[in-house]
């Protein structure tokens, strides 16, 4: 079998799962963000896929397979060609037609349903696939956690009414709990934004670990009472600051070539919390301004939701200069409300007593700016809202927020009619009236399940796989290949386990015992059976669990029965 283990991880491997998947011979890098899965890695993925398929079928979903090459016109109908932007991989075929490599399949499945669903009698229906997806990531990293090509289980349900959609949403929610439990993952469920998917209502399944790119925000006394990802996490409005300085008049200060928050603070001897950032966006011809405190980060998802779900791009330098009269880095809110279509002001800025901001004049800033006095907090085109990321020290409903990293492994979405209305996916209701189908979508990152299992299950010697997703359940290490009795015993146990349906690997290489043990630990197979000349003299073999320090000696004649008992015990824990 091809199991090319290596001692050293590649230099570009940043996190544990990436390092160990290379070292244990699960995969090899082809190019940035793309990997070849070798036999062990593919066996792991097939086991995850099998669990997903069993649970999705059990939940009443039907498996299909949709093309990865999709005409861009479908995406243009929903506007998601703009939402995905450069992340979507494009190519032109020989006939000059524009196509995309699917990052997901809402458009395609909705077009399929539009051609097949005619009546409420055909609803509800849930269609899913397990297939490769493509996203042209700007910076692929962390191995399979942020890759350009990956395997996703994506499901799509169609409904006649909200009650039916809600029922299927929670059906998928419970199905995902079973899937991740069977895969041996410890997960948390958090409220999430829908992002490019659109719609309303979403929950994200996240595996807590330090290497995760996602940030989970939760209340310290929660016990699960409030948890959200960073894109969704709400914060309490900050109390209004009080200071006598707000009576001071504004003062324009010359700040030559000083445009960034850090540079301005250093130049004016102030702090980021005393700065007001003015961010200018555009949606076609419309210009929208966002104001956040200098020490806060704009939350794109919250910002988009405040704008009614409309996606905005950062304005070009030409637009910024036209609107503000100044080069990039010197925009400010004074006098800007009347020049733009909307001004969205974060609660943190509205609570400031006094601050420093750009002067809408190249190389100048303004001190002693008072929100509400020097620029309006109310008006037809002004909205004060929560549009920033939560940070340490923030509260929600008066309770302090806490933060931890995690890996997103799945998410469920309530889409409403976002896709069906635009792509003509309609049905005739009981009164003969045409209605758009209500939709839900439900995704799982298959590769990420393997990476998450490794990130939360390893030691200094290698991987510690849950038995359900391990490439094999048992490894038999034949220590002395030159001894006929050892070979006979090892092969006998191997055959006995195979006959009983145990997924077993026999290491009968002509290698030193230390090499075999190191490889077994590195690969992370849950149960190791060691057959050696010394123990066989007493009629024994050794059995060791990968996650326990010591082996136990048992009679060789009882080996098959004992190993099956251990395997079944490990499986039972995952299904409890």
pLDDT one digit per residue (tens) for the chain, 576 residues: 999 999 998 888 889 999 999 999 999 999 999 999 999 999 999 999 999 999 999 999 999 999 999 999 999 999 899 888 889 999 999 999 999 999 999 999 999 999 999 999 999 999 999 999 999 988 888 899 989 999 999 999 999 999 999 999 999 999 999 999 999 999 999 988 655 544 457 899 999 998 888 899 988 664 457 888 888 888 988 888 877 666 789 999 999 988 889 999 999 999 999 999 999 999 888 999 999 999 999 999 899 889 887 777 899 999 999 999 999 999 999 999 999 999 999 999 999 999 999 999 999 999 999 999 999 999 999 999 999 999 998 988 888 998 999 999 999 999 999 999 999 999 999 999 999 999 999 999 999 999 999 999 999 999 999 999 999 999 999 998 999 999 999 999 999 999 999 999 999 999 999 999 999 999 999 999 999 999 898 999 999 999 999 999 999 999 999 999 999 999 999 987
Per-residue model confidence (pLDDT) at position 251:
94
Q: Could you give the CA distance from residue 371 to residue 246 in angstroms, rounded to a whole number?
A: 9
Per-residue model confidence (pLDDT) at position 246:
62
Residues shown for the chain: 576
What is 16-234+402-454's CATH number? 3.30.930.10
Query: Is 0.85 surpassed by the pTM of this model?
Result: yes
- The fold of the 472-575 domain, in CATH, is Rossmann fold (3.40.50)
Q: Which CATH architecture has domain 244-385?
A: Alpha-Beta Complex (3.90)
Every domain of the chain with CATH number 3.90.960.10 lies at: 244-385
Per-residue model confidence (pLDDT) at position 192:
83
* Residue in 183, 204, 342, 375 with CA at minimum distance from that of residue 276: 375
Q: Could you give the CA distance from residue 550 to residue 58 in angstroms, rounded to a whole number?
A: 39
Every domain of the chain with CATH number 3.40.50.800 lies at: 472-575
C-alpha distances in Å from residue 50, one per residue of 45, 182, 559 = 9, 11, 28
Per-residue model confidence (pLDDT) at position 237:
87
Chain Cα centroid distance, residue 564: 36
Q: Could you give the CA distance from residue 355 to residue 245 in angstroms, rounded to a whole number?
A: 10
Every domain of the chain with CATH number 3.30.930.10 lies at: 16-234+402-454
Q: Are 348 and 262 in contact (CB under 8 A)?
A: no
Per-residue model confidence (pLDDT) at position 219:
86
User: In 186-274, which residue ranges form alpha helices assigned H by DSSP?
Assistant: 261-268
């Amino acid at each position: 079998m091809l199991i090319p283990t290596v001692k050293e991880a590649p230099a570009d491997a940043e996190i544990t799962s990436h390092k160990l998947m290379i070292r244990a011979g699960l995969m090899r890098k082809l190019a940035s963000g793309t990997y070849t899965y070798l036999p062990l890695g593919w066996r792991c993925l097939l086991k995850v896929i099998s669990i997903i398929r069993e649970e999705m079928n059990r939940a009443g979903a039907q498996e299909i397979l949709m093309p990865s090459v999709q005409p861009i016109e479908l995406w243009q109908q929903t506007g998601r060609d703009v939402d995905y932007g450069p992340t979507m991989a494009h190519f032109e075929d020989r006939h000059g037609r524009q196509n995309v490599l699917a990052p997901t399949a809402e458009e395609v499945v909705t077009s399929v349903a539009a051609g097949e669903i005619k009546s409420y009698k055909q609803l509800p229906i849930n269609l899913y696939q397990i297939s490769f997806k493509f996203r042209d990531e700007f910076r692929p990293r962390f191995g399979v956690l942020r890759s350009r090509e990956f395997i996703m289980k994506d499901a799509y349900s169609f409904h006649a009414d909200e009650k039916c959609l809600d029922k299927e949403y929670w059906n998928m929610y419970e199905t995902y709990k079973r899937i991740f439990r069977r895969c041996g993952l410890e997960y948390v469920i958090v409220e999430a934004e829908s992002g490019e998917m659109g719609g309303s209502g979403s929950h994200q399944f996240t595996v807590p670990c330090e290497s995760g790119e996602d940030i989970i925000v939760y209340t310290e006394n929660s016990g699960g009472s409030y948890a959200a990802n960073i894109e969704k996490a709400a914060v309490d409005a900050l109390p209004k600051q009080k200071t006598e300085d707000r009576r001071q008049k504004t003062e324009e200060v010359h700040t030559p070539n000083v445009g960034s928050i850090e540079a301005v603070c250093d130049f004016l001897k102030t702090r980021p919390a005393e700065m007001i950032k003015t961010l200018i966006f555009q949606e076609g011809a419309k210009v929208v301004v966002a104001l956040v405190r200098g020490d806060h980060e704009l939350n794109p998802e919250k910002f988009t939701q405040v704008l009614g779900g409309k996606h905005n791009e950062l304005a070009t330098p030409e637009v910024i200069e036209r609107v503000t009269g100044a080069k990039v880095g010197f925009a400010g809110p004074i006098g800007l409300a009347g020049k733009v279509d909307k001004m969205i002001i974060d609660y943190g800025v509205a609570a400031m007593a006094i601050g420093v901001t750009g002067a809408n004049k190249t190389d100048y800033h303004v001190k002693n700016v008072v929100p509400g006095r020097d620029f309006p907090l109310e008006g037809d085109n002004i909205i004060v809202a929560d549009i920033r990321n939560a940070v340490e020290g923030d509260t929600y409903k008066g309770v302090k927020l806490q933060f931890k990293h995690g890996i997103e492994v799945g998410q469920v979405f309530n889409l409403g009619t976002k896709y069906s209305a635009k792509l003509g996916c309609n049905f005739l209701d009981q009164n003969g009236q045409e209605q758009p189908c209500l939709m839900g979508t439900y995704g799982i990152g298959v590769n990420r399940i393997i990476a998450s299992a490794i990130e939360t299950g390893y030691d200094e010697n290698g991987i510690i796989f849950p038995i359900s997703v391990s490439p094999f359940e048992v490894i038999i290490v034949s220590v002395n290949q030159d001894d006929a009795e050892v070979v006979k015993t090892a092969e006998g146990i191997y055959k006995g386990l195979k006959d009983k349906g145990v997924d077993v690997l026999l290491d009968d290489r002509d290698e030193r015992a230390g090499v075999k043990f190191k490889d077994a630990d590195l690969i992370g197979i849950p149960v190791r059976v060691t057959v050696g000349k010394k123990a066989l003299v007493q009629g024994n073999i050794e059995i060791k669990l990968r996650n326990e320090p010591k082996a136990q000696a048992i009679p060789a004649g009882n080996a098959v029965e004992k190993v099956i008992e251990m395997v079944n015990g490990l499986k039972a824990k995952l299904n409890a």
